[in-house]
Amino acid sequence: MTAQSPTGLSAAFNKLSTTTKRPMIFTTTTTDQNLWETILWATTDPDQDGDCLDRHYGLSDVDSTAIAQLNQQFWAWREQLDDVLISNGLKYHTPEDIAGHTRLEHVYALVRDGHGVSFTDGWRPGTREHRAAGVMNQLARAQGEIGAYPGDDGAIHCSWSV
């Protein structure tokens, strides 16, 4: 029987960590995979000569509490977006439309951690799409930086700076 997350989500990655040989007792979703793939790729490790975390860590190395917290934060942000689109006259659009059909999680993580990416990229200023995308940025940034870092226990943790 596979372990279940606090929210009861199905398992996708339930394997031993490649670097710490710890069993991963928390199950993940595609959303988690997309978020953490981006975070590990975009975050550098000063203890590894500035290499990106994904060179030395994978999803199975991320602390299960950090996975659960980021998942909850992402979905809390996502739940606000329908109202943002409707209030900007875009009731037939989805957040993915505004993100340019890229993975919503990818842009969300990069916006939150201040990597210079924006949901407004590709939209002409003054358009309804640009205004909605600006609100999407504000809502994501309001959640604060994720601040992933490798802990002394060999797991990836988050500082959650606001």
Question: What is the domain partition of the chain in residue ranges?
Answer: 31-42+64-145
Give residue 100's pLDDT band: very low, low, confident or very high (50, 70, 90): confident
Confidence check: pLDDT of 20 > 60: no
Mean pLDDT for 157-162 is: 87
Separation of alpha carbons 107 and 63, rounded Å: 22
Name the residue with tokens 């990836």: 156
Q: What pLDDT does residue 47 have?
A: 87
pLDDT for 51: 93
* Residue (of 109, 95, 99) closest to 35 by Cα position: 109
Over residues 60-67, mean pLDDT: 94
Write the CA distances from 71 to 27, 88, 95, integer angstroms.
Answer: 12, 26, 17
- Give 92 or 17, the one with higher predicted confidence: 92
Do the beta carbons of residue 24 and residue 64 sit within 8 Å?
A: yes
Helix (H) or strand (E) holding 44: strand 44-45
Q: pTM value?
A: 0.81
pLDDT at 102: 77
Any idea which residue has 């990655």 for tokens? Answer: 13
Q: In Å, how far are 76, 89, 138, 150 from 51, measured between CA atoms? A: 31, 43, 29, 12
Residue 134 token pair: 């600006």
> So what's the pLDDT on residue 26?
55
Residues pairing with 157 in the sheet:
149
46-65 average pLDDT score: 92
